[in-house]
Amino acid sequence: MSEAAKHLRQEQGPAPLSVSGLSVAYQKKPVLKGVTFDVNEGELIGVIGPNGAGKSTMMKAALGLIPSIGGEVLVYGRPVKAQRKLIGYVPQRESVDWDFPTNALDVVLMGTYGRLGWFGRPGAKEKAQALECLEKVGMADFADRQISQLSGGQQQRVFLARALAQNAKLYFMDEPFAGVDAATEKAIITLLQELKKQGKTVIVVHHDLATVQQYFDSVLLLNVELQAYGPTAETFTQEKLQRTYGGRLAFLDHSLIQGGSGQSCDRGDRTC
Amino acid sequence: MLNFMAMLADPNMQWIFFGCLLLGLSSGVIGSFSYLRKQSLVGDTLAHAALPGICIAFMLTGVKSIGIFLIGAGIAGVIATFGIGYITRHSRLKQDAALGIVLSVFFGLGIVLLTFIQHGDYGNQSGLDKFLFGQAAAMVGSDVVTMSVICLSLVTICTLFFKQFKLISFDPGFAKGIGYPVALLEQLLMLLIVVAVVVGIQAVGVVLIAALLITPAVSARYWTNRLGVMVALSGLFGALSGALGTWVSSSVTNLPTGPVTVLAATLFFFVSVLFGPQRGLIAKRLVRLRVKKSFLLEKELRAEPMKGETAL
């Protein structure tokens, strides 16, 4: 970080998320090693890496959902546990049983639980907020729908609406684009743009390399260790991706990456 | 109906009737949550695990009272829960295998202790073996008072923490994300199951008590898509099962109340499976027929302009 940038940071106050030395191990096997990074306020950040790279694990550990064996996570300068109200979270869609007896509106209302206190019940004000959030993801017509009767994309949008209802400043989204239809993908990206406009910071675990440049301001390349982190244009490069994905880059089309061209085929690169 | 009133006129039967009703209600309510958390069999395991706890409590105190048994069963339940957790975390076994192991070990120990008590010098040990299959007729007024207090607190806790229990049943990760003490709440739910089990053991027995935790909840799920309604319905089905069980067993000589209560709950289950408005077998069949009919009709309409060719 340059002196000027450092100065700017001090003026802006603490970073929305500051992770240092975060490490996680399942049994004896380390799945995340010494991950350190700071995110800038109001950015959309894509977390990219191969399967088993620890993307979801990093997100869960940063949120304090799973125990870490080391490291520190600060949200706006304070420990994550003290800043729950500033954080919105969209878990993977497959992590819950959608046959649960509840409807879309009720799931979105869960986003308001955090500020209701222990014995408060969601009232008319919360319901109006929840409906508004459903509207923002284009799901207002489905408010009363039993959640098992929604398509995968619609379920994902309900989860997003729930996160919106949390009215947070920093959002964590675990693969919101996984297995959704085109309409949902568009709805999600519109929403991300709007959140950005409101000055919110969004960290997204993402799988589709083809859309990375289009969607994110910064990317974080992860494979157990942090491989690279920075503005998309400088970070989402052939060389850095190659390092992150190792030999598993076969599916990566050069045209996806800025600066990559068909010429590289001459080198006999297996990614052609 | 006549003997129903006659049953209620008997003060002794009143206690039993009221006790079974309360028991059905509370196990129905708490059972909803364990069913939705896919932990139906945890209740069964905790019930079997309660037996050695009850035996040891009796051996130490020589007294037969729900309160003391509750402590014994509670401790046994906590050890069993810990055992299940330890096995699933530290071995390659899945939860079903862990439940099976813990259930059989505790139940085996319970039977050994039970036999030991019966052949030992423990004074008033008669009736302890009734905990295997239950004996509602053995309930007395003071038992029912204890049961009422416990059932009332159980239902109150479920009402107060409804929001929390709902969220940890649907999405524990998100619950943790907004700062709920998920592990603590899960332990509270587990404790409530132990309480419901111990309260019910005297009437229904360790072997069948799981049915009262599972069956009303499963039946209720057929009638509604709302958690609040489901929990209430499950409590209602449980209470009705208890009432029906007491009534039938009091009308026919020598029918045991607990097992008849379980059969009554099963009856509600069959009715629900058949007639549930959306998920029931009949409703599903009707929907399929209607879809098929409209599909055929559409096909026919489309085929009509083509002259000379018969539709289908």
pLDDT digits (tens, 9 = 90+) for A93-121: 888 999 999 999 999 999 999 888 888 88
CA distance A106 to A147: 9
CA distance B295 to B1: 49
Collect all residues of chain B within an 8 Å Cβ-Cβ radius of residue A60: 173
Of B163, B166, B171, Cβ closest to residue A96: B171
pLDDT at B305: 61
Separation of CA A104 from chain center: 22
**Does residue A74 belong to any structural domain of this protein?**
yes
Collect all residues of chain B within an 8 Å Cβ-Cβ radius of residue A100: 36, 169-170, 227
Low-confidence winner among A200-209, B121-130, B229-238, B272-281 (lowest mean pLDDT): B121-130
Collect all residues of chain A within an 8 Å Cβ-Cβ radius of residue B226: 101-103, 106
pLDDT digits (tens, 9 = 90+) for B183-206: 899 888 888 988 888 888 878 888
Other beta carbons within 10 angstroms of residue B93's beta carbon come to 15
CA distance B61 to B29: 32
For B168, the token pair is 């940890």
**Does residue A191 belong to any structural domain of this protein?**
yes
Residue whose pair of structure tokens reads 């309660």 in the numeric block: B50
Nearest CA in chain A to B169: A100
**Does residue A162 belong to any structural domain of this protein?**
yes
**CB within 8 Å of B218: residues ≥ 6 apart:** B35, B269, B272
Element (H, E) at B170: helix B162-170
- pLDDT bucket at A260, cuts 50 / 70 / 90: very low
Q: What is the 3-state secondary structure (H, E, C) of chain B?
A: CHHHHHHHHCHHHHHHHHHHHHHHHHHHHHHHHHHHCCCHHHHHHHHHHHHHHHHHHHHHHCCCCHHHHHHHHHHHHHHHHHHHHHHHHHCCCCHHHHHHHHHHHHHHHHHHHHHHHHHCCCCCCCCCCHHHHCCHHHCCHHHHHHHHHHHHHHHHHHHHCHHHHHHHHHCHHHHHHCCCCHHHHHHHHHHHHHHHHHHHHHHHCCCCHHHHHHHHHHHHHCCCCCHHHHHHHHHHHHHHHHHHHHHHHHHCCCCCHHHHHHHHHHHHHHHHHHHCCCCCHHHHHHHHHHHHHHHHHHHHHHHCCCCCCCCC
**Does residue A214 belong to any structural domain of this protein?**
yes
Q: CA torsion B163→A158→A102→A140, rounded to 10°?
A: 110
Examine the pLDDT at A10 and tell me if it is beyond 60: no
For B114, the token pair is 């039970």
Average pLDDT, chain A: 84
Nearest CA in chain A to B160: A119
Residue whose pair of structure tokens reads 């945890």 in the numeric block: B42
- pLDDT bucket at A259, cuts 50 / 70 / 90: very low
Distance from CA of A174 to the nearest CA of B (A): 12
Q: How many domains, chain A?
A: 1
Residues 28 to 57 of B: which have CB under 8 A from any A CB? 36, 38
pLDDT at B203: 80
Beta sheet of A70-75, edge-to-edge order: A29-39, A17-26, A70-75, A78-79
Q: Which residue has the higher pLDDT, A256 or B64?
A: B64
CB contacts < 8 A (A, B): 65
Other beta carbons within 10 angstroms of residue A55's beta carbon come to 23
Averaged pLDDT for residues A7-23: 76
Q: Which residue has the higher pLDDT, A261 or B91?
A: B91
User: What share of chain B has pLDDT > 70, as a percent?
Assistant: 94
**Does residue A261 belong to any structural domain of this protein?**
no
Collect all residues of chain A within an 8 Å Cβ-Cβ radius of residue B169: 100
Averaged pLDDT for residues B141-170: 91
Q: Tell me what ipTM this predicted complex has.
A: 0.84
Collect all residues of chain A within an 8 Å Cβ-Cβ radius of residue B224: 101
pLDDT at B123: 62
CA distance B52 to B37: 26
Q: Are the C-beta atoms of residues A104 and A144 closer than 8 Å to each other?
A: yes
Sign of CA dihedral B216, B217, B220, B222: negative
pLDDT at B81: 86
CB contact under 8 A, B176 and A146: no
Q: Is A44 helix (H, G, I), strand (E, B) or coil?
A: strand
Q: Is A260 helix (H, G, I), strand (E, B) or coil?
A: coil
B169 touches chain A (CB under 8 A): yes
CA distance A171 to A131: 20
pLDDT digits (tens, 9 = 90+) for A195-231: 999 999 999 999 888 888 889 999 999 988 888 898 8
CB contact under 8 A, A146 and B225: yes
CB contact under 8 A, B174 and A116: no
Q: Are the C-beta atoms of residues B200 and B144 closer than 8 Å to each other?
A: no
**Does residue A268 belong to any structural domain of this protein?**
no
Residue whose pair of structure tokens reads 């940063």 in the numeric block: A62
CB contact under 8 A, B160 and A119: yes
CB contact under 8 A, B36 and A101: yes
Closest CA to B27 of B40, B13, B37, B45: B40
The CATH number of the domain holding residue A80 is 3.40.50.300
Q: Are the C-beta atoms of residues A106 and A143 closer than 8 Å to each other?
A: no
pLDDT at B242: 92
B234 touches chain A (CB under 8 A): no
Q: Are the C-beta atoms of residues B256 and B133 closer than 8 Å to each other?
A: yes
Collect all residues of chain A within an 8 Å Cβ-Cβ radius of residue B230: 101
Q: Are the C-beta atoms of residues A144 and A103 closer than 8 Å to each other?
A: yes
Collect all residues of chain B within an 8 Å Cβ-Cβ radius of residue A65: 173, 176-177
Of A84, A107, A113, Cβ closest to residue B163: A113
Distance from CA of A17 to the nearest CA of B (A): 15
Averaged pLDDT for residues B248-263: 85
Examine the pLDDT at A50 and tell me if it is beyond 50: yes
Collect all residues of chain B within an 8 Å Cβ-Cβ radius of residue A170: none
- pLDDT bucket at A252, cuts 50 / 70 / 90: low
Averaged pLDDT for residues B148-165: 93
Closest CA to B47 of B152, B169, B204, B155: B204
CA distance A135 to A19: 34
For B277, the token pair is 């408005």
pLDDT at B157: 95
pLDDT digits (tens, 9 = 90+) for A111-170: 999 888 888 889 899 999 999 999 999 899 999 999 999 998 999 999 999 999 999 999
CA distance B144 to B136: 11
CB contact under 8 A, A95 and B171: yes
Nearest CA in chain A to B182: A65
pLDDT at A264: 37
Closest CA to A211 of A181, A189, A187, A234: A189
A228 DSSP β-pair partners: A221
CB contact under 8 A, B178 and A96: no
Q: What are phi and psi of B223, to 5 degrees?
A: -100, -15
pLDDT at A268: 38
Nearest CA in chain A to B225: A101
Distance from CA of B178 to the nearest CA of A (A): 6
- pLDDT bucket at A271, cuts 50 / 70 / 90: very low
Average pLDDT, chain B: 86
pLDDT digits (tens, 9 = 90+) for B32-60: 999 999 888 888 899 899 889 988 998 88
Q: Are the C-beta atoms of residues B28 and B239 closer than 8 Å to each other?
A: yes
Averaged pLDDT for residues B171-189: 90
Residue whose pair of structure tokens reads 């339940």 in the numeric block: B77
**Does residue A210 belong to any structural domain of this protein?**
yes
- pLDDT bucket at A1, cuts 50 / 70 / 90: very low
**Does residue A34 belong to any structural domain of this protein?**
yes
Closest CA to A63 of A204, A218, A172, A226: A172
Collect all residues of chain A within an 8 Å Cβ-Cβ radius of residue B225: 101-103, 146
Domain span holding position A109: 3-236
CB contact under 8 A, B179 and A84: yes
Distance from CA of B175 to the nearest CA of A (A): 9
Could you give the domains of chain B? 2-211 (1.10.3470.10)
For A182, the token pair is 């085109």
